[in-house]
Structure 1
Amino acid sequence: MGLLNRDFNQIKVYTKEKCYNYDELTIFNFESSNKELILILCENKINILSAYISSLQTCHAVMLLSRDINQELLNSIINNYKPYWIVGLEQYEGYRYEENKLIRKVEFKTVIHPNLAVLLSTSGTTGSQKFVRLSYENLRSNAQSIIEYLEINKHERAVMNLPLSYSYGMSIVNSHLLAGASILLTDMSVMEKPFWEFVKEHQATSLAGVPFTYQMLHRIGFTKMELPHLKILTQAGGRLNETLVKIFGEYAQQHNKRFYLMYGQTEAAPRISYIPSERVLDKSGTIGIAIPRGHLSIDGELNELVYKGANVMMGYAENIADLAKGDEMQGILRTGDTAIVDDDGYFTITGRIKRFIKLFGLRINLDDVEKKLEEQFHMPLACTGSDDKLIIAIEKEDAVDQIKETIEHLYKLHKTAYKVIVTDEIPRFANGKTNYTALKELCL
């Protein structure tokens, strides 16, 4: 599909156990006379990365899902999309296991658009069968833009510590493959000592993180570490608080490193904007400027942020028939965020038209959370929150433990990422609709 350049022979993937050459990363056999759908249950393991690279090189469409996806949702996705191959499971009804993957037993004609490369969930593990349809050009275009503004070359060694099923993690892989660079693949946490031994041993040159990552880095004293080879830090997946921006921005300046704040959406494969490293401290409240060859504008009475670029998705898929669809977006993405722009052309998000929050880089639709909980518990409740905590308000004390259990089961959230509060009465307008402004004030 053209993600690799002429320097692909020097691409290496380092794991804790071994260093793999490029030839060892295309071992999956996805041979078929038709374009098929491959479902990969993602972990940061070499066989999963190998399956992803192999799938792109054989021009099949690949659906990336988190390995810890809710089982009921996984069942429904498999039933709905009927993937021909499944990587990451050893058994599933209707499939046979062969050469490290499951193969569907029953023949089923799936029509897939020739340009469709990747399907990414719009909501991670959170209960949606809706996927973003990304083309080969979407991936290539965004990877090239990232290479340009991060100045990635074939000598880079990026730490791949984010999930491949998360668009930010996927973009690390894509951009470094296209640049002919190497990757340090790990599922270790930045809180673990072996993680830093791995980083130092293989001389990592860049590290990526969501806001939670930087909270942890600050907690463990990252700025006092001796990391002479590390020269690039990137952050996306939600707004980083001003205190941490200042700490890491000043650290980067003092240690001859570059720190980038970035904004994106899965629908844009995913990068939309960035703050150049030299402007991070004085433009920290903004999302920066558009990526190379992208264009940002503000439209309509709601001041919605609109992005134009070759990386904008083909459209959404909600069922198997949608895989045959072509480009429905024509390079234009209405982000759903409201924004303003300053005299220097730097954009600032002022709110969201729809009710989404981002937790650890995972986008969560508050209305969807409410709907699922209401369907299960049949009682008054409401959801609010910010990019560091989901808050569920209920009126029954005895339901707290059940709500917590359901949230952890459906969304795989850590206990620190959500809070259940009990109130005498959920604030409502005269028409009976929830007053979310009052609710948020109540929860503060």
Structure 2
Amino acid sequence: MQFFSLDREQLAIITNENCYSYKEIPIVEFNSYKKEIVLILCLNTIEIMSSYISSMNSNHAVMLIAADINEELLQNIIVQYRPKWIVGLANYEGYQFDHDKLVREENVEATIHPDLAMLLSTSGTTGSQKFVRLSYENLRSNAESIIEYLEIDENERAIMNLPLSYSYGMSIVNSHLLAGASILLTGESVMEKSFWKFVKEHMATSIAGVPFTYQMLQRIGFTKMDLPHLKVMTQAGGRLNKKLVRQFGEFALANNKRFYVMYGQTEAAPRMSYIPYDKVLKMADTIGIAIPNGKLSIEGDELVYRGANVMMGYAEYLEDLKKGDELGGVLQTGDTATVDEDGYFTITGRLKRFIKLFGLRINLDDVEKKLEEKIHIPLACTGSDDKLIVVIEQEDYVETVKQEIEALYHLHKTAYKVKVLPIPYFANGKTDYMKLKELCL
């Protein structure tokens, strides 16, 4: 059974160069007598998108990787997982070029579980060869929940400039194509004038962004733009500070638009919760309620999610791909949280993002949140059990940050440090805390 139905006349994908109906999406052949891996190096182009759609419909296991992945890591992944096909690479030893893809010359005996649909990394362009194993049911159930709460139908036109290899970007593609809607495909940034020309010309109805996107939208005066067709704004990929949530929430309310703040993890394909658009101002501090057909609870201090979209498990080696569902629909998120009487959940931190200073247990996520609320600048926290380190990008705010730290936590001057550095981000807009720690310690 095909994952995406292509027997439709409606517009599916719009690029700067062309428009493609569902029937006109170019088909890429992935023929094999057994289930194999299709590795796709992702760019927001029609060639990559058609390879993705074709590979999902071929029932092979699709491995989505950022095109700008570290070369050594890519090599390790290819050696470890031995994909049958590689899309987006011109040549590689042991592979032959065939039309639009590389094909492995040697036969590899490996068993891949029939339910396995996708392999997604959780660590961006750097990190490990550990992947999340997602089934067709994981992906379909999450897309159907998203379609329901975002009210997506065939009239929607979503601007898609997030990476396809990032679970948020992937979910935009899946939910809109399964709903028979259209995708405006571009690799351009919201900072470019040509991006907004594309949005206006093709009447985009929704825009999606990570916290960094919304910081940029604020900077370029998005709320003053004339975008009558744009009706929906979504935000995920990390916590957006409360001031910006309120600013965009108020803008949406005043202009007959819907602004959704959402929470998820790649391990949940990826969406787990959302704030209904009419509650976003009142519940700006929260991650909202569970998505349709999902359930959130707090067990101990940890937020636990249950739903059909919870991954099958992780893979670190080719042999792991034969494994079935190891989690049974239950995901321990690693986030600490609270819940109010109306069932709205608030993230209070990460189980592993704590340091201990002079016996005082400090939640680094909480420090970030409180400082951002006071100072309203991009910042990031790291540290060890002998020092808290706050990284900012503007020298002018060093003394202000120091004053706020002392006021909030009463720390001795030797217990913390404020550094001025460019904050490192992954391609998906999330802070790269591993790299941040390397830069600071």
Asked whether the equivalents of residues 237 and 428 of structure 2 are also in contact (C-alpha less than 8 Å), the reply is no
| 2:309 is the alignment partner of 1:311 | yes
Q: Which amino acid aligns with 1:221?
A: G
Asked whether the equivalents of residues 147 and 153 of structure 2 are also in contact (C-alpha less than 8 Å), the reply is yes
- Looking at structure 1, the residues matched to 303 and 21 of structure 2 have their Cα atoms a distance apart, in angstroms, of 42
| 2:141 is the alignment partner of 1:148 | no
- Looking at structure 2, the residues matched to 330 and 7 of structure 1 have their Cα atoms a distance apart, in angstroms, of 34
Following superposition of structure 1 onto structure 2, how do residues 69-218 of structure 1 map, counting pairs within 5 Å?
Answer: 69-218=69-218
Q: 1:5 to 1:51 in 2, by over 3 A?
A: closer
Tell me the CA shift for residue 242 of structure 1. 1.2
Following superposition of structure 1 onto structure 2, how do residues 324-343 of structure 1 map, counting pairs within 5 Å?
Answer: 324-343=322-341
Q: 1:385 to 1:272 in 2, by over 3 A?
A: farther
Following superposition of structure 1 onto structure 2, how do residues 158-307 of structure 1 map, counting pairs within 5 Å?
Answer: 158-300=158-300, 303-307=301-305
Tell me the CA shift for residue 387 of structure 1. 12
| 2:54 is the alignment partner of 1:30 | no
TM-score, normalised to structure 2's length?
Answer: 0.82
Seq. identity, %: 64
Give the secondary structure class of the aligned counterpart of 1:9: coil
Asked whether the equivalents of residues 239 and 387 of structure 1 are also in contact (C-alpha less than 8 Å), the reply is no
Asked whether the equivalents of residues 3 and 177 of structure 1 are also in contact (C-alpha less than 8 Å), the reply is no
Asked whether the equivalents of residues 2 and 59 of structure 2 are also in contact (C-alpha less than 8 Å), the reply is no
Tell me the CA shift for residue 127 of structure 1. 1.8
Tell me the CA shift for residue 38 of structure 1. 0.4
- Looking at structure 2, the residues matched to 413 and 10 of structure 1 have their Cα atoms a distance apart, in angstroms, of 30
Q: Which amino acid aligns with 2:204?
A: A
Tell me the CA shift for residue 6 of structure 1. 8.2
- Looking at structure 2, the residues matched to 386 and 257 of structure 1 have their Cα atoms a distance apart, in angstroms, of 35
Tell me the CA shift for residue 350 of structure 1. 0.6
Q: Which residue of 1 aligns with 2:48?
A: 48
Q: 1:57 to 1:412 in 2, by over 3 A?
A: closer
Q: 1:422 to 1:229 in 2, by over 3 A?
A: closer
Tell me the CA shift for residue 281 of structure 1. 0.4
Where does structure 2 lack aligned partners over 5 or more consecutive residues? Answer: 355-363, 369-380, 395-418
- Looking at structure 2, the residues matched to 175 and 101 of structure 1 have their Cα atoms a distance apart, in angstroms, of 26
Asked whether the equivalents of residues 42 and 67 of structure 1 are also in contact (C-alpha less than 8 Å), the reply is yes
Where does structure 1 lack aligned partners over 5 or more consecutive residues? Answer: 360-365, 371-380, 390-399, 427-444
Asked whether the equivalents of residues 5 and 179 of structure 1 are also in contact (C-alpha less than 8 Å), the reply is no
Give the secondary structure class of the aligned counterpart of 1:337: strand
Runs of 4 or more consecutive aligned structure 1 residues displaced over 4 Å after TM superposition = 356-359, 381-389, 410-414, 416-423
Tell me the CA shift for residue 20 of structure 1. 1.4
Deviates more, 1:138-147 or 1:350-359: 350-359
Q: Which residue of 2 aligns with 1:17?
A: 17
TM-score, normalised to structure 1's length?
Answer: 0.82
Q: 1:178 to 1:76 in 2, by over 3 A?
A: same
Q: Which amino acid aligns with 1:282?
A: K
Give the secondary structure class of the aligned counterpart of 2:9: helix
Q: Which amino acid aligns with 1:344?
A: D
Asked whether the equivalents of residues 113 and 324 of structure 1 are also in contact (C-alpha less than 8 Å), the reply is yes
Give the secondary structure class of the aligned counterpart of 1:164: coil
The two structures, once aligned, show a CA RMSD in angstroms of: 3.1
Give the secondary structure class of the aligned counterpart of 1:260: strand
Tell me the CA shift for residue 355 of structure 1. 3.6
- Looking at structure 2, the residues matched to 55 and 230 of structure 1 have their Cα atoms a distance apart, in angstroms, of 31
Give the secondary structure class of the aligned counterpart of 1:50: helix
Give the secondary structure class of the aligned counterpart of 1:252: helix
| 2:348 is the alignment partner of 1:350 | yes
Tell me the CA shift for residue 3 of structure 1. 3.8
Asked whether the equivalents of residues 167 and 266 of structure 1 are also in contact (C-alpha less than 8 Å), the reply is yes
Asked whether the equivalents of residues 11 and 22 of structure 1 are also in contact (C-alpha less than 8 Å), the reply is yes
Q: Which residue of 2 aligns with 1:4?
A: 4
Q: Which amino acid aligns with 2:155?
A: H
CA deviations over 1:180-215 (Å, ceiling 9, x no partner) = 000000001100001000000000000000000000
Asked whether the equivalents of residues 26 and 53 of structure 1 are also in contact (C-alpha less than 8 Å), the reply is no
Asked whether the equivalents of residues 7 and 154 of structure 1 are also in contact (C-alpha less than 8 Å), the reply is no
Q: Which residue of 2 aligns with 1:395?
A: none
Give the secondary structure class of the aligned counterpart of 2:120: strand
Tell me the CA shift for residue 7 of structure 1. 7.0
Asked whether the equivalents of residues 340 and 349 of structure 1 are also in contact (C-alpha less than 8 Å), the reply is yes
